[in-house]
Amino acid sequence: MSTTVEHVACTFCGCVCDDIVVELEGSRIAGVRRACSVGRGMIDEYDAKLRRPLVRGREVDWEEAVEAAVTILDRADSPLIYGLSSSAVEAQRKAVELADRIGAIVDTTSSVCHGPTGLAMQAVGEVTCTLGEVRDRADLVVFWGCNPSASHPRHFGRFSLTAKGTHTPNGREDRTVYVVDVRPTGSSKQADHFLQVDVGTDFEVLTALRSLVKGNRLRSESIGGIPMPRLSDLAERMKACRYGVVFMGMGLTMSRGRHQNVGELFTLVAELNEHARFAVIPMRGHGNVAGADQVLTWSSGYPFAVSFARGYPQYGPGEFTAVDVLARGEADAALVVASDPVAHFPRRAAEHLERIPTIVLDPARSLTAGIAQVVFPTASYGIDASGTAYRMDNVPIPLRALLVSGRPTDEEILDRIIEAVK
Amino acid sequence: MLGVVGGRVYDPRNGSDGEIRDIWMKDGRVVSPEEVDRDRAEIVDAGDLVVMPGGVDIHSHIVGAKVNAGRKFRPEDHRGSERVRTGDFRSGSGHTVPSTHLTGYLYAEMGYTTVMEAATAPLVARHTHEELADVPIIDKGAFITMGNNHFLMSCIRDGRPDLARDYVAWLLKVSKGYAVKIVNPGGVENWKWGRNVGALDDEVIGFGVTPRQILDTLARVSDELGLPHAPHIHGINLGRSNSARTSIETMAGLDGLRAHFCHLQFLSYGKGKGSVHTSEAAAVAEAVNAHPNLTVDVGQLVFGSATTMTSDGPLQHNLHRTTGAKWINDDVEGETGGGIVPVFYKRTNPINAVMWLTGMELFLLIDDPWKVFLTTDHPNAGCFTSYPHVIKLLMDADYRAEVFAGIHARAREGSVLRDLKREYSLYEIAVITRAGPARALGLDRKGHLGVGADADIAIYQDMDDKAEMFARPRYVYKGGTLVARDGVVVADPPGRTFSVAPPYDPEVEKHVRKHFETTYTVSFENYAMSSQQLPHEEVIACG
């Protein structure tokens, strides 16, 4: 029997598109419509087969796997809980509760992504809006250090480039679009203006823009490889627009200057509100990384890099961030939820993870699962589990279970671990 | 079964002004003595103690998108205000913006058992409720911002009050809200064009409606739907030198309809010299005294650290420009906006000093305590943890005079506060912190200790220093469970979430569905919350 499920939310990226149509044949996914190629692949190719958990590579029952995980955490003096951004809010809440209870360090993928954005926000604030405001109002859109055509394929069509809204009835024609990046990208090809900045000079370019917006004249012929007339032109357009929006990505957060780049951009955006309405939206990557920030913040006061080792939350980017904790060899056990640090972390950090007992909760067989002592093949939120994910603009979107796979959720496993460590 | 015996009971709704009475409880409710088997009941000797219903906070920002953004961008607020995890109690942090579990503990430890989250955009109501689920002990509800809602403004423009009524009912249902909240009606929409509104008859850009029409429509709709709480109004011109005049005009314009004006202190100023406003609390209080259908809460300023956060986007931009402090703004599609700016209120700052005395004057000049409630518009004018301090200011005229003497001289000049010797009694305190707000909220089982009331009780040791007395109740019961002893939390049962579900013509959903296609970037089907998502929901009847 085939059924059609509409308004399905895709959790691949921070767009959390919730207009996806999924065709089911029995309990098999037979077709996915409206999703981008990445999202379609994620849903379509999901293997919902019930698999048994592993302890040191050996298939065991769930009870035994929970016991093994609890033993690891009980023996640890300095456990690390990491990941969370591809899980749902319900599981994130449990992960933080567990961290609180066992005195763990808890960190999310934010720290290797938009962590610097969080630091900038804490320094200067953040003038932002929801994605619907972009679609309906934005007549000037700037993509800075991000490439949505590859990373967030439907972003242009749904929100920021061709999308038609109340005050942008002609879509693309009603918008002026800039891309600022260190190299041409798929996104820059679709922009009206591409400003290619020299590597590592974003801060200078942003400072120059702030100065130009304030009406200063700069003597340099170019800044960061961008001729002054083109920069002045951007500054003037920024001041003259109706509602401007900047989307920013890891080109700013993970290049020289990091949080200072972002702080400079956020300050520019705040100052532009003297002339026009202006907002900035960080291009969050993972489907629910914004939710991970939210949950950790409402539980502890801080968005990432939190240590509960002293019995109360302490915030320490650089100190309690997962890469640093692992590279210094400080963690003596790890619990990784829906993330693959072995694949993405610097070698020294990944190697330490291989040396210590690691527990993995993940629907997919990640590289980290390959080195882990305990692996829980959990359900995937939005496919065979329900929950909530927060979009990049912090709008919460409900995730429904399309299939009944019988796999436990991250939340259920974490809950059993919490009960056992009590 | 539980008996609190021999205490001096302050239960204004049931007319008890410190009389010695016994309170009996069973299954989470107050019951008549006959229903209790005294031999088997646990007895609390309340001899020499003051017994009150659990505190009811009618306006506080404790959870949701704005509050959490405030937490996230203020790590400096949290350091030094941490709570260590003990047993099953969670750790936490935060002074002006405490984390969720800590918020529940702090309220309970102060004897408060019901708190209303003052502003939630419907688009992010799911977030609000997810946080509320992590606030233990206290019962709560959320007010839904509607004063800049596109669909509602379209209904007004098109002359469809019936559709507006059905929409409000629908919106409250799908967002699991408790009341209609109005913030700077029309001004937040205009801020999306870099503008604001400054008068009740100014036009909202793109809709051709006015703040007056929005207020009138939502007040009438709230009445027609029989909502337990009146529309909760943060008017236009907040913080400005014409705010008192505007507040009085707004009250008059409501034509006798029910309304609650929140944090009125921020809207009771007149024009002074330079940038320092004057307090026009006397005139505003007179207007409040004259209108039978109004209630207000004060939003008392407390000197020290605060985090201002409101849906009033243009106001927050102004505050950022004035103070130079960091600033968050968030425009929310089709619905509202908001901003956050940290501040530090100083007694030596003439502007802050005027704000402080404006609040005090409102408390002392509004005659009927059933119309004025204690709030600090947490965390805007001060933290909710300052309530005991505010109670001391109200109960102790000498202490108040002492603080008054220490504020900036320019604020003291011409202030009527020096002549106001009124002192609140314990009975009146029980009204402005319990019975009054519960009645205004239409929460029949809150704010009193009559038979059938929720067994929410705060028991205090009477002391000369009222701040100390109210900061650490001897015992706090929530639904009959001892949750705090000597100001320390001892149990953390989950609290309930109050919502309303007024009936509406389902036809409205067709219109809203169409509106979604042009206004929202989320699917209509993914907007509504279901009751399964709210495990401790209690629907309060309308009508």
Q: Which residue has the tokens 């004897």?
A: B111
pLDDT at res. B535 = 86
| Structural class in CATH, domain A116-282 | alpha beta
Confidence of residue A26 (pLDDT cuts 50, 70, 90): confident
Q: What is the model's pLDDT at position B530?
A: 84
| The pLDDT value given to residue B533 | 83
Q: Which residues contact B364 (CB under 8 A, 6 or more apart)?
A: B394, B417, B420, B422
pLDDT digits (tens, 9 = 90+) for A36-71: 999 999 999 999 899 999 999 999 999 999 999 999
Q: Which residues of A touch B91 (CB under 8 A)?
A: 100, 300, 308, 311-313
Any A CB within 8 A of B427 CB = no
Which CA distances in Å does A309 have to A306, A321, B90, B531?
9, 14, 13, 37
Chain A interface, best mutation among B153, B336, B526, by max A CB count within 10 A: B526
Distances in whole angstroms, Cα of residue B206 to Cα of each of A136, A167, A227, A384: 13, 10, 39, 44
pLDDT at A334 over 90: yes
In A174-256, which ranges are E strands? 176-181, 193-196, 222-223, 226-227, 243-248
The residue type of A296 is L
pLDDT under 70: residue ranges of chain B: none
Q: What is the pLDDT of residue B543?
A: 87
Band the pLDDT of A27: cuts 50, 70, 90: confident
Give B163 to chain A, closest Cα distance, Å: 22
Residue of A nearest to B122 (CA): A395
Cα–Cα distance, B9 to B430 (Å, whole number): 10
Q: How far is CA B400 from CA A118, B357, B381, B393, B405, in A?
A: 42, 10, 18, 5, 9
C-alpha of B424 from chain center:
21
pLDDT for residue B531: 79
Cβ contact A238:A229 at 8 Å: no
Mean residue pLDDT of chain A comes to 97
Q: What is the pTM of this model?
A: 0.98
Distance of CA A365 to the CA centre of its chain: 20
- At B414 the pLDDT is 86
pLDDT score recorded for residue B88: 93
| Token pair belonging to A338 | 């829906």
Q: Distance (Å, rounded) from C-alpha B271 to C-alpha B276? A: 8
For residue A394, which residues of chain B lie inside 8 Å, CB to CB? 65, 124, 127
CB contact under 8 A, B333 and A130: yes
Residues of chain A contacting B194 with CB distance shorter than 8 Å: 273, 276-277
> How many pairs of residues across A and B have Cβ atoms under 8 Å apart?
172
Find the mean pLDDT for residues A300-317. Answer: 98
Yes or no, beta carbons of B85 and A100 under 8 Å apart: yes
CB contact under 8 A, A313 and B63: no
Place of tokens 């977030």: B127
The CA distances from residue B438 to B118, B134, B390, B453, in Å, are: 15, 23, 19, 11
Residue A367, pLDDT above cutoff 80: yes
The answer to whether B463 faces chain A, any CB pair under 8 Å, is: no
Report in angstroms the alpha-carbon separations of A387 from A24, A150, A413, B349, B532: 20, 27, 15, 48, 12
Q: Mean pLDDT across the stretch A220-233? A: 97
Query: What's the angle, vertex CA B493, arms to CA B487 and CA B498, rounded to 5?
Result: 105
B80-139 residues touching A, CB cutoff 8 A = 82-85, 88, 90-94, 97-101, 123-124, 126-127, 130-131, 134
How far apart CA A167 and CA A134 sit, in angstroms, is: 10
Q: Does B26 lie at the interface with A, CB-CB under 8 angstroms?
A: no
Q: Answer for the pair B39, B97: CB distance below 8 angstroms, yes or no.
A: no
State residue A298's pLDDT score.
98
CA distance B373 to A28: 58
End-to-end CA distance of chain B: 33
The CATH architecture one would assign to domain B54-450 is: Alpha-Beta Barrel (3.20)
Q: Do B526 and A397 touch (CB under 8 A)?
A: yes
Domains of chain A, residue spans: 52-113+287-380+407-421, 116-282
**Does the domain at residues A52-113+287-380+407-421 carry the CATH identifier 3.20.20.70?**
no
Q: Mean of the pLDDT values across residues A111-123?
A: 96
Looking at residue B275, what is its pLDDT?
87
Q: Residue B66's closest CA among B340, B347, B360?
A: B340
Q: CB burial class (10 A; 0-12, 13-18, 19+) of residue A189?
A: exposed
Contacting residues for B540 by C-beta, under 8 A, at least 6 apart: B178, B228, B442, B443, B498, B499, B500
Candidates A277, A293, A394; nearest CB to B193 = A277
Q: How far apart are CA B267 and CA B240, in angstroms?
A: 7
Instruction: Name every chain B residue with its beta carbon within 8 A of the beta carbon of A299.
Output: 90, 92, 99-101, 134
Interface-testing mutation among B76, B89, B91, with chain A (most A C-beta atoms within 10 A)? B91
The answer to whether the CB atoms of B92 and A93 lie below 8 A apart is: no
Model ipTM over 0.85: yes
Q: Which residues of B touch A293 (CB under 8 A)?
A: 72
- Residues A242, B329: C-beta atoms closer than 8 Å: no
pLDDT of A1: 76
What CA–CA distance (Å, rounded) separates A294 from A291? 5
